[in-house]
Amino acid sequence: MSALKKIEQTGWLRGSSAGCRPRFRERRNCWRLVLLGPPGVGKGTQSQLLKQRLGTCHLSTGDLFRAACSRTGCNSTPAMVEALNFMRRGELVPDSTVWDMVRERSECLQCRAGFLLDGFPRTLPQAEQLQAFLEEALLPLTGVVEYKMPLDVIIQRLSGRRVCESCNAVFHITSRPPKVEGVCNDCGGRLYQRPDDCPASISVRMEAYQKSTAPLIHYYADLGLLASIDADGTADQVFARTMGALVPRARRVNN
């Protein structure tokens, strides 16, 4: 992980925008995006490309949950402690607790760098809480990007995915293999397959995703914020489709 990414991630995990780059804070126009899409659709790759192009901060709630479990690199805020207690009992973290975790980081949502919000909202109540917060703060969303891909392609992608247990770098046994099998190119850590990346688990995850996300799709479509993007293709092709859909929306929001 680069030093810059560590700085930005620390600001998000600690619940403040203190780690943002100074030049970001001077931006008059910024992008505020919510990224939706099932596991394996390529949100992580697109997030990095969007961050580089738009100069926004990538705010991942997955990072918050992993930090809550590891308790490293962050302050254990009250909401994170509460979330950890639910996870230890094997229970789903309720919407109210997830929102509290995000709200504790309200400075990041209001940062002049803008944001790419990844992993939140996951349910309609979470979306409504986020929208109410942004409207009260006079911070309009630029858009909500929904990445779509056929199930068979997703299964092929995820079943071949390997993740570094040390730095979380992601590889693929065919499309992005490591230089040395089972070893991370970046830090030399061990690569492993997540248990939920097995084909049977993927189908279950997809069913759960579709069930929870369908109301979100309708909600953001009704608000005129939704941009559905075909995620099948190279990263550059998907990125071009994304920007083609977002640029006109950004002009309307910022003018």
Per the residue annotation, which of 14, 51, 161, 162 is the catalytic one?
161
Does the annotation count 43 as an active-site position?
A: yes
Does the annotation count 89 as an active-site position?
A: no
Residue 189 burial (C-beta neighbours within 10 Å; 0-12, 13-18, 19+):
middle
The whole-angstrom separation of Cα 37 and Cα 26 is 31
The whole-angstrom separation of Cα 101 and Cα 18 is 17
Residue 231 burial (C-beta neighbours within 10 Å; 0-12, 13-18, 19+):
buried
Sign of the CA dihedral running 20, 109, 245, 155: positive
Does the annotation count 194 as an active-site position?
A: yes
Per the residue annotation, which of 14, 43, 51, 105 is the catalytic one?
43
**Amino acid type, 3:** A
Per the residue annotation, which of 27, 66, 122, 176 is the catalytic one?
122
Per the residue annotation, which of 21, 25, 194, 251 is the catalytic one?
194
Per the residue annotation, which of 66, 103, 148, 205 is the catalytic one?
205
Q: Are the beta carbons of 190 and 183 closer than 8 angstroms? A: yes
CA angle, residues 137, 138, 144, in degrees to nearest 5: 100
Q: Which residues are catalytically annotated?
A: 43, 122, 161, 194, 205
